[in-house]
Structure 1
């Protein structure tokens, strides 16, 4: 009896360590991903480029991250979840040293493109890792906390970038980023239980070294195509990608708006708008409970309404209405993201890492495309134009949510 209790306690401790290790890794990743978004004014000044052009740095990183997710999904299915996460994080910390000595904007673009590849490992693997190691109820809780960690990392990165932009030089800022990343990676490496590594192929089977390369490539191809031929998966990918396309780039352009007349906020003051992410942090934590109580479709509807009302509210163009609007938009976005993330992880009965990496590929591809897309509207009518561009995206999101509901009710008369 005591041996059984000890085993249960050990398993619970292992699950807790896994959960917190991936949450710390997530914070490290999102600090590195979004720090530049908070540093746009310093970045534009240091490299002598327009502020609107500086926003493309986020698009470059998101673009390389998006397609690298698919590679990590294949690699982690073959060699396990633990090694790709650890190796990529240590290389990420070392790559920050390159940022200290970049001399022009083009060199910065190349380094950030490389970092996008390294940043992809944790988001590509984390949900599949949770699904394989945790019970369904614990997995939903872990997914909610993990999304909350994403939000915390995003807020911390942007605010840290704002502080750096206001008080430090470029080189000093990059040294601080290196030290913060190094500490986070070391903590992740300590917490991550190597014994929990699941060396699985699709369907949970161990990779066979005797299989030919062609057979394994075909299996990888069929793993991706299996999810892409599922209409519900495709719609979840579209919802997450278009939502992120709108939300993350709204935060970039609102900084330019707040730093111009009549607001004329300082570099650091402009980054305080990212505190509005806190509403999404709270929403992420409660998503699992709300999903169980109200169902997926209700949450999709509520989140869409929040994003619509939030975007429209900013058109009143006061400090109060802009802050309230972004609080509503962030809350709606993170509800949508949590619903999509949980849905994809739970629906995937095989090739789980490929399923979640396809979702996140669409998600970050949306972020990469959203910058150039909304920039067209910014050049035409500045912030009012960005809101108009966002309304078009919201219409596409509404259509995708409606189609997802149709497919779910078609398969089952019971409401999802």
Structure 2
């Protein structure tokens, strides 16, 4: 690869890294201050979780239209516009102390960030030409974990001192700096073949991706895995701050440092998938997440946090591999739609799982919620195992790096 190509690839990687950081910091900014929302507005955990679920629901609904739009107007244009709109809304949220209005605006913000989340995979697949896509996708997912961790950590600490408005303001400020870097660094796409604005072929791409048997396994991992993940992190603050643990909100927010495990495992899983194949690495990630979920059943704070680290690392390893799998399996003419459908499953699962998880916690406590999440993860693993007889794309040779 020539020096200009190497430089361009580095710019793409860095741009998508900071873009993912901004996206996930904004998307999950309310999560660490949900107990403050609950107290200020007199809400149950399940109702307060609507602030998170509204954002992910907006993303899920808008993912397919914006992913399809990127096939027509260009991927960079959609991603840049989306992140700028999401940042503007993030700056406005702290000045709206009305819960229904906050939920409505969060829905719009989620729809905005769909333009980046739903298109990034297709952009990477186009612009890298399949070279080391697993490692590049792993770096992008690592950016999502850094954004998720830093946004939650900053929001939780600031929220303990200045309330939920201070928490949201601090996150929006950091995301704003990342947004500027993203706009400056991201190169214009040059390998995408744009389609004309005709609904029939564009919808045909959506239909082809939705009915492709090879994509069912990664879609299942996206929906069930992300539903489990968001349920854990939505409820975690309540469990840690309530008796018998009774940890302060600022200290409880330090639990989001567990995201660092996802930063490491997502990048590592991408490289391992390039070398050994996606299916075994994906199953290992789901198994690791189940192990962490079991550890969190303990009543000891140290064991709970250790389990959270294991659970987080396993989930992000699985997500990194599943998302890269979509970019590889999808037809080039429907790559944007396939990526959007993955995001639809991912954030649709987040919206539903977040609310159901909070409701299960309110009814049955942490053990009952954990049992439900274990079933979801087991179903995701079963979908991957079932795909063995359905996916015709050959698995890579154990000692070869496969061009995706």
Per-residue deviation, residues 131-186 of structure 1 (Å, max 9, x unmatched):
11113223322111001001100101110111121112444444433432322211
Bigger mean CA deviation after superposition, 226-235 or 153-162: 226-235
Q: What TM-score does the superposition give when structure 2 sets the normalisation length?
A: 0.93
Cα–Cα, structure 1 residues 71 and 172, in superposed 2: closer, same or farther, change >3 Å? same
Contact 2:22–2:147 (CA under 8 A) maintained in structure 1: yes
Whole-angstrom distance in 1 between the partners of 2:35 and 2:85: 27
Of 284, 290, 300, 1:318 maps to 300
Whole-angstrom distance in 2 between the partners of 1:293 and 1:174: 41
Alignment correspondent of 1:366:
349
Aligned residue runs from structure 1 range 154-303, under 5 A: 154-194=148-188, 196-197=189-190, 200=192, 204=193, 206-208=194-196, 216-303=198-285
Whole-angstrom distance in 1 between the partners of 2:380 and 2:284: 13
Alignment correspondent of 2:71:
77
Bigger mean CA deviation after superposition, 227-236 or 107-116: 227-236
Alignment correspondent of 1:348:
330
Alignment correspondent of 2:390:
407
Please list every run of 5 or more consecutive structure 2 residues that lacks an aligned counterpart in the other structure. 399-404
Contact 1:82–1:197 (CA under 8 A) maintained in structure 2: no
Cα–Cα, structure 1 residues 144 and 48, in superposed 2: closer, same or farther, change >3 Å? same
Contact 2:217–2:380 (CA under 8 A) maintained in structure 1: no
Alignment correspondent of 1:131:
125
Contact 2:228–2:373 (CA under 8 A) maintained in structure 1: yes
Is 1:87 matched up with 2:81?
A: yes
Q: What TM-score does the superposition give when structure 1 sets the normalisation length?
A: 0.90
Contact 1:128–1:345 (CA under 8 A) maintained in structure 2: yes
Cα–Cα, structure 1 residues 69 and 265, in superposed 2: closer, same or farther, change >3 Å? same
Whole-angstrom distance in 2 between the partners of 1:101 and 1:289: 43
Cα–Cα, structure 1 residues 411 and 332, in superposed 2: closer, same or farther, change >3 Å? same
Alignment correspondent of 1:382:
365
Alignment correspondent of 2:50:
56
Please list every run of 5 or more consecutive structure 1 residues that lacks an aligned counterpart in the other structure. none
Per-residue deviation, residues 108-151 of structure 1 (Å, max 9, x unmatched):
10110110011111111111111111132233221110010011
Alignment correspondent of 1:105:
99
* Residue-pair matches, total: 397
Cα–Cα, structure 1 residues 414 and 149, in superposed 2: closer, same or farther, change >3 Å? closer
Contact 1:46–1:170 (CA under 8 A) maintained in structure 2: no
- C-alpha displacement of 1:100: 2.8
SS where residue 315 of structure 1 aligns?
A: coil
Greater Rg over alpha carbons, structure: 1
Whole-angstrom distance in 2 between the partners of 1:120 and 1:80: 15
Alignment correspondent of 1:304:
286
